[in-house]
Amino acid sequence: MWQYIFRRVLYAIPVLIGVNIITFALFFMLNSPDNIAHMQLGSKHVTKAEIDNWKKTHGYDLPLFFNSEQHSFTQTIFWQKSIRLFVFDFGVSDGGRDIGEAISDRYLPSLSIAVPALIVGLFVNIVTAMVMAFFRGGYIDHWGVILCVISMSISTLFYIIAGQYFVARVLKWVPVSGYVDGFYSLKFIALPVLVSVVAGIGAGTRWYRALFLEEISKDYVRTARSKGLSEPQVLFGHVLPNALVPILTGVVVIIPLLFMGSLLLESFFAIPGLGSFTIDAIQNQDFSIVRAMVFLGTILYIVGLILTDISYVIVDPRVRFN
C-alpha cells in the first residue's frame, strides 16, 4: 500500500505544476500586474510611477514566464511566486497579510458547516432513498422522484434566501447570519447546515435510490428473499451494505475538499471560512491568495482521490493496489 501511495504522490507533482501554470496563465490573461497594483493602491491620484514602485516592492516588475534579459526562468513572476508553494510556504497576500495564518484561522469555520452538512445530508439522503426503494414503483416512489427533480432544479441561492427569510426573519428561530466561536456557534450554523441539507436532498436521494435499485435487482437479493427474509431485512441487511461501497467512496473523495468551504453559503451567512476567502481574493484580484487556494484545493483533491482508491481496497476485497 505504501508503495502505491508513494507512486501516487509522485504522480501528483506534475499535476501540481500543471495546475500552477494554468492558474498563472489564466490569471494573467485577465489581469496585468498593473491591474493588481491598481487594486491595492486604489484608483485616485495613482500615477504610473506609483504603480511601478508598487510592482517593484511586491515582485511584480519581473517578466511573467521567461526573463530574456537575464536568460533565466527563475527571475520571473511565475517562479518567484510559485516555487515556495511546493514547500507549503504560501507567502503573503498582495495586500501584505500572511496567507498561511489566514488559512489556519479560516478552515475551522468552514468545517463547522461542511462536516455536519455532510453527515446529516448523508443520513437524510440514504433514509429517503431507502424508503423510495422500498416502495419502488408505488406512488411514494413516483412522487418522491418528482419532488427530487423539482428540488434539483431550484438554485441553491433560492434555498439560502428562502431559508433566511422564513427561518430567521419570519419565525425568528436563529440569527440571519454571522458566526461566533464556542457553544453559541450552534445557533449560527444550524440554518446554513439545514439549507445545505435541503438543497442537496434532490440530487443525493436520486443517486442513492438508483444505487439501491441497482442492487435490488441483483441475484444475491433474490437469494435472500428466497430464504424467506422480510423486505426490511433484505434492504438493511443485504442491499444497504453493498450499496454503501459506491456511496462511501463517493463521500471519501469530497472529505478533504470540505476544508475549502462553500462559496455561496459562507458569503450569505457571513461565515469566515475559506470559501469566502477565495471569493474575496478573486474579487480583489489578489493573485497570491488565488494561487495559494488553487494549489491547496488541488492537493486536497489529489488526497481525496488517493483516499478513494484506498477505501475501494478496504471495502471491496476484489480490488488490489497492483
Partner 1 sequence: MRIAIIITLSLLLLGCDQTWNNPYPQDPPDSNTLYSAFSLRPKHLDPAKSYSEEEYIFIAQIYEPPLQYNYLKRPYELEPLTASKMPEVVYDPIADTTTYTISIKPGIYYQPHPALALHDYGTSLYHNLAADQIDSFRVLDDFKKHGSRELVAADYVYQIKRLADPKINSPIYGVMKDYILGFADFRAEIQKLYDRNPQLIGADLRHFDILGVKTIDKYTYTITIRGTYPQFKYWLAMLFFAPVPWEADKFYYQQGLADHNISLDWYPIGTGPFLLSENNPDRRMVLSRNINFRDEYFPGKPELKLPLLDRVVFSLERESIPAWDKFLQGYFDASGISEDNFNYAMASGGGLQLSQPLRERGVKLRVYERLSMVYWAFNMLDPVVGGYSEKSSKLRHAINLAFDVDEFITIFYNGRGIPAGGPIPIGLLGGKAATEKTYNPELAKKLLAEAGYPGGRDLNTGEQLQIFYEAAVSGNPSQQAELTWLRKQMEKIGIDLIIRATDYNRFREKIQTGNAQIFMWGWNADYPDPENFLFLLYGPNSQALYSGENTANYNNTEYNALYEKFIAIDDDAEKLQLINAMFKVLNKDMPWIWGFFPQQYSLYNPWYGFVARGSVINNFVKYISIDPKQRAKLRKEWNSPTIWPVFLLLIAVIVIIFPAIYGFVRSEKASARRKR
> Cell digits for 216?
435490488
Cβ burial of 90 (10 Å; 0-12, 13-18, 19+) is: buried
Which 3 state secondary structure label does DSSP give 188? helix
Instruction: Find out whether 274 and 103 touch, Cβ atoms under 8 Å.
Output: yes
**Hunting for cell 493496489 — which residue is that?**
321
Phi-psi region of 42 (alpha: psi -120 to 50; beta: other; left: phi over 0): left
- Rounded distance between C-alpha atoms, residue 251 and residue 92, angstroms: 33
Minimum distance of partner 1 from residue 117's CB (angstroms)? 18
30 binds partner 1 (CB under 8 A): yes
CB-nearer residue toward partner 1: 32 or 308? 32
- Rounded distance between C-alpha atoms, residue 162 and residue 148, angstroms: 18
Minimum distance of partner 1 from residue 316's CB (angstroms)? 31
DSSP state of 85: G
- Rounded distance between C-alpha atoms, residue 202 and residue 147, angstroms: 7
Minimum distance of partner 1 from residue 268's CB (angstroms)? 5
- Rounded distance between C-alpha atoms, residue 283 and residue 285, angstroms: 5
Instruction: Find out whether 87 and 95 touch, Cβ atoms under 8 Å.
Output: no
284 binds partner 1 (CB under 8 A): yes
Mask: binding to partner 1, 120-139, rule CB under 8 A, as x and -?
Answer: -----------x--xx--x-
CB-nearer residue toward partner 1: 34 or 214? 34
Mask: binding to partner 1, 249-268, rule CB under 8 A, as x and -?
Answer: ------------------xx
Sign of CA dihedral 266, 272, 278, 279: positive
Residue among 177, 194, 198, 297 that touches partner 1 (CB under 8 A): 177
101 binds partner 1 (CB under 8 A): yes
CB-nearer residue toward partner 1: 11 or 173? 173
Residue among 124, 257, 270, 310 that touches partner 1 (CB under 8 A): 270
CB-nearer residue toward partner 1: 117 or 264? 264
Tell me the backbone φ, ψ of residue 68, rounded to 5 degrees: -70, -25
Minimum distance of partner 1 from residue 251's CB (angstroms)? 23
DSSP state of 229: -
Q: How far apart are the first and last CA of the chain?
A: 9
CB-nearer residue toward partner 1: 177 or 298? 177
CB-nearer residue toward partner 1: 138 or 237? 138
Residue among 4, 15, 40, 136 that touches partner 1 (CB under 8 A): 40
- Rounded distance between C-alpha atoms, residue 232 and residue 147, angstroms: 24
Task: Name which of 85, 34, 39 is nearest 56 in CA terms.
Answer: 34
- Rounded distance between C-alpha atoms, residue 54 and residue 36, angstroms: 10
CB-nearer residue toward partner 1: 164 or 249? 164
Minimum distance of partner 1 from residue 107's CB (angstroms)? 12
Residue among 5, 15, 92, 315 that touches partner 1 (CB under 8 A): 92
Applying CB under 8 A, what is the total number of residues that bind partner 1? 68
Chain residues binding partner 1 by CB under 8 A are 30-32, 35, 38, 40-50, 53-54, 57, 92, 95-98, 101-102, 105-106, 131, 134-135, 138, 140, 161, 164-165, 168-180, 183-184, 186-188, 228, 230-232, 267-270, 272, 276-277, 280, 284-285
